């Protein structure tokens, strides 16, 4: 059994984003206490979505790109 077992679950919620003492990542996706490091994947979700994590992970990556480029808020790309 040990040779054939694997997880089917999407690993998420392991680097919680927030502003409380249990959070690993701040709202700008920067890791607390480590300058220059961001986390931009499903691990920052404080709670796991009830559906597939693909779309939320893409959104997190897009937000990270905006934060790194210095773009805040919604934009139309125009």
Tokens matching residue 43 = 């691990």
Q: Clarify whether 75 is annotated catalytic.
A: no
Question: How do residues 2-12 score in pLDDT, each as one tens digit?
Answer: 677 666 666 78
Look at residue 74 in the predicted model and tell me its pLDDT: 66
Catalytic residue among 10, 16, 38, 63: 10
Question: How do residues 11-70 score in pLDDT, each as one tens digit?
Answer: 788 888 999 999 999 999 999 999 999 999 999 987 878 888 889 999 999 999 999 999
Tokens matching residue 23 = 């959070």
Question: Which DSSP symbol is given to 58?
Answer: H
pTM of the model: 0.75
Half-sphere exposure (Cβ direction) of 68: Cα atoms closer than 13 Å: 12
Closest CA to 17 of 8, 29, 9, 5: 29
- Rounded to the nearest angstrom, the gap between the alpha carbon of residue 61 and the centroid of all alpha carbons in its chain is 8
Look at residue 7 in the predicted model and tell me its pLDDT: 64
Look at residue 1 in the predicted model and tell me its pLDDT: 55
């Amino acid at each position: 059994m040990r040779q054939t077992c694997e997880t089917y679950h999407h690993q998420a919620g392991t680097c919680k984003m927030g502003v409380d003492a249990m959070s690993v990542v701040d709202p700008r996706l920067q890791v607390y206490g480590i300058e220059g490091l961001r986390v931009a994947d499903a691990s920052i979700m404080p709670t796991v979505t009830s559906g597939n994590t693909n779309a939320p992970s893409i959104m997190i990556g897009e937000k990270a790109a905006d934060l790194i480029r210095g773009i805040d808020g919604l934009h139309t790309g125009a």
